[in-house]
Structure 1
Amino acid sequence: MLDPALKDQLRTYLTNVRQPIELVSSLDDSAKSMEMAELLDEIAGLSEQVTHVRNGADARRPSFRIVRAGTDVHVTFAGIPLGHEFTSLVLALLHVGGHPPKVDEDTAEQVKALAKPLHFETYMSLSCQNCPDVVQVLNIMSVLNPEHISHTAIEGGLFQDEVADKGIQAVPTVYLNGELFDSGRMSLEQILGKVDEHADTKAAAKIDAMAPFGVLIIGGGPAGASAAIYTARKGIRTGIVAERFGGQLNDTMAIENYPSVSHTEGPRMAADLEAHVRSYGVEVVLGQHAAKLVPAEQPGGYHRVELASGATLQGRTVIIATGARWRTMGCTGEEDYRNKGVTFCPHCDGPLFKGKRVAVIGGGNSGIEAAIDLAGIVGHVTVVEFLDQLRADDVLVDKLASLPNTEVRLGRRTTAVVGDGAKVTGLTTEPREGGDAESIDLDGVFVQIGLLPNAEWVKGTLEVSDRGEIVVDERCVTSVPGVFAAGDVTVIPFKQITIASGTGATAALSAFDYLIRTPAPEPTAEEPALAG
């Protein structure tokens, strides 16, 4: 099943397996079982440390366990983990085989200390770029604490009866001990925060103990990462706090317009950015949400950023790079049916709607690209656009018009998402200028209507525009001395990765200039002198 280049690559990875592992398959007479058996035989043939055993007793077939021989350490895949999940397979082989996962020591100890039974099941799609992160995190947890934690990754497209029975309409969707746990992208810190009742207290105490930074960056997307690289290279003590590293990159399937990189995927770029930032010794705090900015009382003093967890960080300068989030429709039923038919990622969730009727809300480039993508999977796509014409590029509009299972409805606003309590069953729209409402029977709604800046937490402290964006000048300076902002959260036009990266560098250099021109206050016991 694996092409020669992939085989050679996997053979090299498997040299890192330190302890014998068994691939224990549970198969039946189906074609998919034959494919799985072929894949597992190929993997076993690449290393003397790997053996394929065909005596599994798992109820789901085809499935297989990766087991550290003679131990309880294992992870399970129900389905064939190729596509985006191939990396999850490789990492599972390595981690079960004794190669240490990349988890900081404190977090690893927190996982090992969990003493209650936690059986996770993740329903994922092979075309989902968000699913591997969740699968890999839960696999790592099961390897670190096999006595109490187990994990099964389930390919939704292969086990469609389970998906239908559970009403799953978005991936990844995670069940814990048979009950719905959460859906969407989740970090290890976020999962620990939900299963460890002491997680928030531990995290807050650790954060509160951090010394003040020369530059404190809020946000881990391209703007924040670029800023961190620039300030760290200047020798300034730099910290980043973010909910997740990469920001909107993690929700971007294909990136083909970043100079010198002809093609990459958002999650891969996010991982590369994080590795680059960490290589300079930047302190990275993830799984945290900024709640309040308290400006310094004197020039050169320390600004405080209060987090939703109750912890506080300080910096002589602050760079806000919190980016933006998907804009929602704001109509009746939208939140009720989020991840029950209302979704934002056609690449992730499109396969769950195979052969069904869906709507795409929004006629810009992202909306029309989503409609084109979905048209190859679903039964029918209806594009609903508020304006009287589509805003997408002509080449995309022409492509959409050539597809037989699509239609466009212009000049209409969405007034309600309709459902049966468990899933979406339809959509209600009306003419923009008023008129009779119209109901559309469908199974899914993909929202593609732009972004909102993540700046609510600084309103009243920093100047913001009427669109809620932080006002900055050409040097990324805000209305408060020593506070800078960059990327999609600002008034800077054209929300692009390259522009965010550039403004991050601008903010960093402006912060450096501020630090060297503004005397630092005398250190106190509460606010020690900064190193660097």
Structure 2
Amino acid sequence: MLDANLTQQLKAYLVNIREPIELVASLGDDAKSRQMGELLNEIAALSDKVTVVTGHDRRTPSFMIRRVGTDIGVRFAGLPMGHEFTSLVLALLQVGGHPSKAAQDLLDQVRGLEGSYNFETYFSLSCQNCPDVVQALNLMAVLNPGITHTAIDGALFQDEVNERKVMAVPTVYLNGETFGQGRMELEQIVARLDTGASKKAAAKIAQKDAFEVLIVGGGPAGAAAAIYTARKGIRTGIAAERFGGQVLDTMAIENFISVQHTEGPKLVAQLEQHVGDYDVDVMNLQRAQKLIPATSEGGLHEVVLENGASLKARSVILATGARWRQINVPGEEQYKNKGVAYCPHCDGPLFKGKRVAVIGGGNSGVEAAIDLAGIVAHVTLIEYDSALRADAVLQRKLATLPNVQIVTSAMTTEVLGDGEKVTGLVYKDRSGDARHQVALEGIFVQIGLVPNTEWLRGAVGLSQHGEIEVDHRGHTSQPGIFAAGDATTIPFKQIVIAMGDGAKAGLSAFDYLIRLPAEETRDWEQAA
């Protein structure tokens, strides 16, 4: 199961195990059980603190990682390879007593949760969002005896997925009821369980002094801005709804100059580590609700957060990014995560052998159709324009696939369903008035992005498309307020461009601050 490279890496990690652990295997006679048994024995051979024992669980194949002589442990129903291999390694270490690097106050918050919490997470091996959820819940199960967690490969337990009508990953159940879908970080999960967490966070934020630069958004643009301003010695803060932004939902990145290939979550982890090298106050899971510009140049701008707290700053950099654009037709919202999806890499395996549609003929749409064609029975690609807009190399690849139908000059008008899941869609032929109904089980929407700027209306100038209007230096319509990245009017929404914009906005903010009247100077300016 493990190649020489993975074996060597795992052996190096396992020396950090402090307490003996056992791999409790529930196996059958099928091929996956044999593979799991092989994997567990290979792991045990790498450390004298790991043993394999036989167990019995209702899900086969599965295995539990358990600290010997205790009930501390986590369970995997399926082979945690691919994106989940890191989850396996961390589970081995944490059950074995190796401490987590999470913030101590957050770990104490998990330990302090009262009650009984039985979590089950459905994942797919191609889902880049699933590991964060699996790893967070595994850690919680290790820290708190009232919490248990089982991570389930949805592709392996298809009958269970169908019975529970799981149509998106990660999907988390708590005590048999749906708890959440999509990417969730440890802080988010704990905040939902600890009902007083939001008030505590708001009270903590309310005590913060004004920043010289406050960055709203933690994607590539926001991270770059923070690094550049922090290097100037400016008191810098980041308020982000989720650090990393949409890059967390990006699978393969092959156009980030000098890096031939990486993946979104990996790049975000590197961004977070780089920002952490500087004195930046990162306030994650904080959604901005209102911007109140200063009434005079050099005054304090105010950002009101959803939890009621406010942050003030001498200058502000808006880097709120963008989100997937919706088709906004009847049925889309009702069947979101019930057949309507936006991430083919994450949710594609759940539609194995089924019929799906991809809405959008740009690069994202065609790439999605190509990927899905290898999993599903049939793909209908629907494009509003008269021709596909994807790169020629992608169109040539698409044309070779026998189970893909391309429909152009088509406008999707309705998502159909039976009350529980998607059953089809309706599209209108734009060259006439004919309407067509397509029977299918899944719809993947890939029609571009919409800027996260609704909360800024009336505060700064926005374009007709809702983008923040900026000049060549990143200035907005308000003195002391700058913007960068996908939320702005800068063309070509790319990671490398957002980073450059973020750096430029950071330098512009610094330039603005050092030119304020003498009475507005700060100690850091004297040292600049």
Is 1:11 aligned to residue 7 of structure 2?
no
Structure 2 residue identity aligned to 1:113: G
The aligned residue for residue 72 of structure 1 is: 71
The aligned residue for residue 176 of structure 1 is: 174
The aligned residue for residue 250 of structure 1 is: 248
The aligned residue for residue 115 of structure 1 is: 114
Q: State the 1:281 CA deviation.
A: 2.5
CA distance in 1, matches of 2:159, 2:332: 26
Q: Is the 8 A contact 1:213 1:530 kept in 2?
A: no
Q: Is the 8 A contact 1:187 1:287 kept in 2?
A: no
Question: RMSD value over aligned CA atoms?
Answer: 1.5
Q: State the 1:4 CA deviation.
A: 0.7
Change (3 A) 1:281 1:47: farther
* Structure 1 alignment gaps of length 5 or more: none
The aligned residue for residue 497 of structure 2 is: 499
Give the share of equivalent positions with the same residue, in percent: 63
The aligned residue for residue 99 of structure 2 is: 100
Farther-moved stretch of structure 1 (134-143 vs 189-198): 189-198
The superposition leaves residues 454-513 of structure 1 with CA deviations (integer Å, 9 ceiling, x where unpaired) of 011111110000000000000001111111100000000000000000000000000111
The superposition leaves residues 133-163 of structure 1 with CA deviations (integer Å, 9 ceiling, x where unpaired) of 1101111111121x21111100001111110
Structure 2 residue identity aligned to 1:440: V
Q: Pick from 387, 390, 393 the counterpart of residue 391 of structure 2.
A: 393
Farther-moved stretch of structure 1 (360-369 vs 191-200): 191-200
The aligned residue for residue 333 of structure 1 is: 331
TM-score (norm 1): 0.97
The aligned residue for residue 377 of structure 2 is: 379
Q: SS of 2:497's equivalent? A: helix
CA distance in 1, matches of 2:56, 2:322: 47
The aligned residue for residue 142 of structure 1 is: 141
CA distance in 2, matches of 1:45, 1:398: 47
The aligned residue for residue 133 of structure 1 is: 132
Q: SS of 1:487's equivalent? A: coil
The superposition leaves residues 212-258 of structure 1 with CA deviations (integer Å, 9 ceiling, x where unpaired) of 21111111110001111111111111111111111111111101111
Q: Is the 8 A contact 1:300 1:521 kept in 2?
A: no
Q: Is the 8 A contact 1:478 1:484 kept in 2?
A: yes
Q: Is the 8 A contact 1:121 1:154 kept in 2?
A: yes
Q: Is the 8 A contact 2:298 2:520 kept in 1?
A: no
Change (3 A) 1:478 1:26: same
Structure 2 residue identity aligned to 1:135: V
Q: State the 1:400 CA deviation.
A: 0.9
The aligned residue for residue 294 of structure 2 is: 296
Q: Pick from 189, 192, 204 the counterpart of residue 191 of structure 1.
A: 189
Structure 1 residue identity aligned to 2:440: L
Structure 2 residue identity aligned to 1:89: L
Q: Pick from 228, 240, 243 the counterpart of residue 226 of structure 2.
A: 228
CA distance in 2, matches of 1:187, 1:11: 28
The superposition leaves residues 371-416 of structure 1 with CA deviations (integer Å, 9 ceiling, x where unpaired) of 0111111110001111111111111112111110001111111111
The aligned residue for residue 32 of structure 2 is: 32
The aligned residue for residue 407 of structure 1 is: 405
CA distance in 2, matches of 1:389, 1:515: 49
The superposition leaves residues 171-190 of structure 1 with CA deviations (integer Å, 9 ceiling, x where unpaired) of 00000000011111111222
Structure 2 residue identity aligned to 1:387: D
Matches within 5 A, 1:428-467: 428-432=426-430, 435-467=433-465
Q: Is the 8 A contact 2:121 2:170 kept in 1?
A: yes
CA distance in 2, matches of 1:164, 1:212: 52
The superposition leaves residues 408-445 of structure 1 with CA deviations (integer Å, 9 ceiling, x where unpaired) of 11111111110111111100111235512110000100
CA distance in 2, matches of 1:381, 1:476: 42
The superposition leaves residues 321-375 of structure 1 with CA deviations (integer Å, 9 ceiling, x where unpaired) of 0100000000000010000000011111111111111000001111011101111
Q: State the 1:207 CA deviation.
A: 1.4
CA distance in 1, matches of 2:284, 2:296: 29
The aligned residue for residue 479 of structure 1 is: 477
Structure 2 residue identity aligned to 1:473: D
Q: Is the 8 A contact 1:359 1:442 kept in 2?
A: yes
Structure 2 residue identity aligned to 1:77: F
The aligned residue for residue 346 of structure 2 is: 348
CA distance in 2, matches of 1:390, 1:92: 45
Q: State the 1:206 CA deviation.
A: 1.5
Q: Is the 8 A contact 1:223 1:501 kept in 2?
A: yes
Q: State the 1:271 CA deviation.
A: 0.7
